[in-house]
Chain A
Amino acid sequence: MEFIYNNICSSDCRSSCRIKTKVQKGRIISIQGDPIDEFTLGSLCAKGYAHLQRIYAPDRITYPMKQMGKGTGNWVRISWEQALREIAQKLIEIRAKHKTLLPVCLNKYLGTMGLLSRSIDGFFNSIGYITLMTGSPCVATGVDALTLSFGACKKPPPEDMLNAGLIVIWGCNPAWTTPHQMRLVFDAREKGATVVVIDPVLTATAARSDLYVQIKPGTDWALARGIAKILVEENLMDQQFVAENTNGWESCKNSLEQLNLDEVASATEVPVAEIKKLAHLIGNTKPMTIWLGAGVQHTSMGGQGFRAIADLAAITGNIGIPGGNIHYGTFDSWGFAGEFTSLEPPDGSKGIPDGEGHYQHRQVGTGRFAELKTMDPPIDFLWVASHNPVAQAPDSNAVKQALASIETVVVADLSLTSTARYADYFLPVASHYEYEDIVVSYWDYGAAVNQKAIEPLGESKSDFEIMRELAVVLNKLAPGFSTFPTDRDATQWLDLEMKPLYPKLGITHYRELINQYRRVDLPRVPWQDREFLTPSGKYEFLTAPCTPLIHASEEVGDYPFRLLPIRSFATLNSQYRNFVSMEELSGRSKVLVNPKTALSKGIEEGTRVKVYNQLGEIVLPAGLSNCIPPDIVSVYIGCDAKEVELNSIIALIDTDLGQLCSGAKGLAFNNTFVNLVRV
């Protein structure tokens, strides 16, 4: 007897693919893309097709474990009862000792986009004021930038790209990160659109473009300003849009007048003549749409870069029109009720005063693990869920040290990640095929129910069940410790959270989403009303003067090569990297080097190379490619071998924005410099 279930990939990805899952005798025998999905048209990505390997991975752990000595690998299998009791006791102990739960820290990110994972935040809200790792290692900088310019992040639906005459893909390799959208890019091109890719690396996307502009990393800001200057000088502007709908134009224009194009050319390493051609293309092709990837914002000037690029859309009046605007991201499709996040701690809980007579959580920026021990009171308890910071946060060694120094570390995950190796307790999480959940895409706004296709493997539990049961245990040991409504089941939670979205989805209960494709009804064209959400109600130009910044070059010193971590088709951050098949497919982990660089360092294809800087070193075989410029070396994120942690040589450097919306500055992953030597 075969059963077919509807699932949706919950990885942090633009596509959020709908999946048809075939189950026989309680075991998933196959998964296929669901053809009713109007964005994916029923195709998955390489990782998606490998989901079975993830669910039934040999290294998946399906029972709770306790490590006798962090990092020793001396794990002992324990019962859920013991795990939750000991963890609960720890929390009770901390509150008794400190009269507050500030020494408790939660580090949770987007390991799953499933709505129920918000129960983790909900649980910690329900026990007291804790220390919350906030911010986004991914989008914080860009979100702030666009919020400053537009007042909010809004984007057109994917299909609006078909209306564009010019598609500028800036710092993004959708061929490997959003392949489904490439269908629309190609279709737009067949309708006559020109595709421009601006990227330091000749990516798979760049190779398929009509015009590829190789830019020196971190100088996107300068290039965008240079283009803007030409647009103004040659009057390739939408004067009416600028006059009626923007603010700050005069000072923006003044700063552009100060800009010297030769200096832009020498900073970006794009010749003046080519910048002019690019400006002409942008100024003369309407509608133009810009696709901003994560690349630009992961540099120290990333926020300014985003704003300068957005200004190009404003100057040319490509905002609020079909085929225009910026494709980045939006939170508008996530208009949930916030039932979890609004859970209140028990009366009398103490935290950080918010200045209005209330308390709030203490915040620490994402990735800033070294700060955890220097806080007052310091962190004694860390819960890591949906995240693998040793692999993902900058300076892995600092993260490991922090984890080693915290008294109790709990990691909830599917397998022993590099972070879990530094945990005291490992809690086995069920894969998303093993419990009902909902995923709403932030790209095409598709909302889908993820049905429970099989029972949780072994003793594994969903994050929601773990949190709920921990609340039960806590309240048994210390009545009233948590306000978490433990008698409410997952279905009720999902219904409550989804209620505000029902009208926008045209449904009355979330289960109606099974077997039908529905999108959260957002405007086809954002900003069509030209009512921007900035304080002025207008689009806000970047007004910072250009000249001082363009002269501020980065320190090179002993480390002459910029290390660009780039995305592979085979992994999503550190997810999927434990797949045997993926390792083979991606042609082994490599450090990608320009042949010129290789020649100067005596490196050949396959030579083992030590990549090092002040933080540490990693050793990988070399892969030679002309697609990487000579002053850059690249390593695929998550394609590092099991014992090699790419981020051990990634420096923790703040970007220029991020605090406004996410509570912490973004991380400049692309600002690391290294040297190479063959070993």
Chain B
Amino acid sequence: MPRTQKGFLFDPNRCLGCRACIMACAAGKDLPPGIYLRHVTRQEFRKGTQIIQYYLSTSCNHCVNPECLRLCPEQAFRKRRDGIVLHDLSKCNGCGDCTRSCPFEAPIVNPTTGKAIKCDFCYDKLDEGEIPFCVAACPVQALRQIDIWHLKSQAPDTVKRLHGIITLQITRPSIRYHALKSGKQILRDPVRKGDEYENGNL
């Protein structure tokens, strides 16, 4: 297997917040109801008089510096040569250190098995030349799988973080984003810049 770094490319300008990715993963991986390996969160903040709203879909980011791999007492994590971080169920003792260590809350303890579980990039599908469930499910191709090493040729204009979100980059997550674009908004009740703050309504 050639060495590379698999990762995700996420386009907030296309994501609809429809959660098909989450459920396709849950169905494909046969997860118990209520257990998900992917999360979609709505981001909302104000910029000037405009309201910025977008959705963010994240799972394990298969970090270059995986904290799970560092902190797991059972050495249950490994990183393949293609950069996919895998978790070995047979070594896991369910301590949850990985859950606490991950900035993206990627590994979770599955209550039905008492062991950690996390996104494995559908490596078995990948090895068969297929794409991960989440990527295949996206109706608008907002989520794509990429090769971070060859990112520049695949998607030249990408950024490492999205506006308004605090993310720790120290683990070097293998996710890139398209920069967020916003259209024009005609709002009925536009908040004048700083209105809320001037009135002391904090």
Contact = CB atoms under 8 A, between A and B. Distances in A.
Interface of A: 29-33, 40-50, 52-53, 175-176, 179-180, 182-183, 186, 195, 202, 204-205, 207-216, 269-271, 274, 569-570, 579-581, 584-585, 596, 599, 625-627, 629-630
Contacts of A195: 183
B137 A626 contact: no
B73 to A, nearest CB: 30
A210 B184 contact: yes
A176 B139 contact: no
B166 interface: no
A270 B186 contact: yes
Given A175-B18, A182-B139, A202-B51, A269 B24 contact: no
Interface residues of B, number: 39
Nearest to B14: A186
B34 A182 contact: no
A33 to B, nearest CB: 7
Nearest to A581: B33
B53 A202 contact: yes
B186 A214 contact: yes
18 contacts: A30-B28, A40-B139, A43-B137, A43-B139, A45-B139, A49-B20, A50-B23, A186-B14, A202-B51, A212-B184, A212-B186, A214-B188, A270-B186, A271-B186, A569-B19, A585-B23, A596-B189, A629-B188
Contacts of B36: 581, 585
Nearest to A39: B139
Given A208-B14, A626-B46, A202 B185 contact: yes
B44 interface: yes
Given A186-B14, A212-B184, A630 B189 contact: yes
User: Would you list the 8 A-B pairs with minimal beta carbon distance, nearest first?
Assistant: A49-B23, A175-B16, A46-B19, A207-B53, A46-B23, A210-B183, A269-B188, A179-B139
B18 A49 contact: no
B90 interface: no
Nearest to B12: A208
Contact of B137 (A44, A176, A569): A44
A213 B17 contact: no
Interface in B146-202: 183-189, 191, 201
A40 B36 CA distance: 23
A11 to B, nearest CB: 15
Given A50-B27, A569-B19, A183 B141 contact: yes
B138 A52 contact: no
A581 B34 contact: yes
Contacts, number: 139
B19 A211 contact: no
Centre residue among B24, B54, B188 by max chain A CB count within 10 A: B188
Contact of B54 (A176, A207, A215): A207
Nearest to B182: A207
Contacts of A31: 27
A176 B19 CA distance: 9
Centre residue among B19, B34, B53, B141 by max chain A CB count within 10 A: B19
Centre residue among A29, A205, A585, A625 by max chain B CB count within 10 A: A585
Contacts of A274: 186
Contacts of A45: 18, 20, 23, 139
A176 B17 contact: yes
B183 A211 contact: yes
Contacts of A213: 186
A581 B27 CA distance: 11
Contact of A179 (B18, B30, B44, B188): B18
A208 B23 contact: no
B27 A49 contact: yes
B95 interface: no
Interface string B1-31: 0000000000001101111101110111010
Contact of A626 (B13, B24, B28, B44): B44
A586 to B, nearest CB: 8
A49 B137 contact: yes
A579 B33 contact: yes
B55 interface: yes
Contacts of B54: 207
B140 interface: yes
Centre residue among B46, B140, B189 by max chain A CB count within 10 A: B140
B139 A180 contact: yes
B76 interface: no
Contacts of B34: 580-581, 584
A500 to B, nearest CB: 32
A44 B140 CA distance: 11
Contacts of A43: 20, 24, 136-139
Contacts of B18: 45-46, 175-176, 179, 204, 569
A131 to B, nearest CB: 40
B20 A46 contact: yes
Contact of A627 (B14, B51, B186, B188): B51
Interface in B104-138: 136-138
Nearest to A45: B20
Contacts of A208: 13-14, 16, 183
Contacts of A596: 189
Contacts of A182: 14, 16, 139-140
Nearest to A196: B183
Contacts of A46: 18-20, 22-23
A299 B54 CA distance: 28
Contacts of A570: 19
Interface string B58-77: 00000000000000000000
Centre residue among A43, A176, A179, A209 by max chain B CB count within 10 A: A43
Contacts of A176: 16-18
A585 B27 CA distance: 14
Contacts of B186: 211-214, 270-271, 274
B140 A179 contact: yes
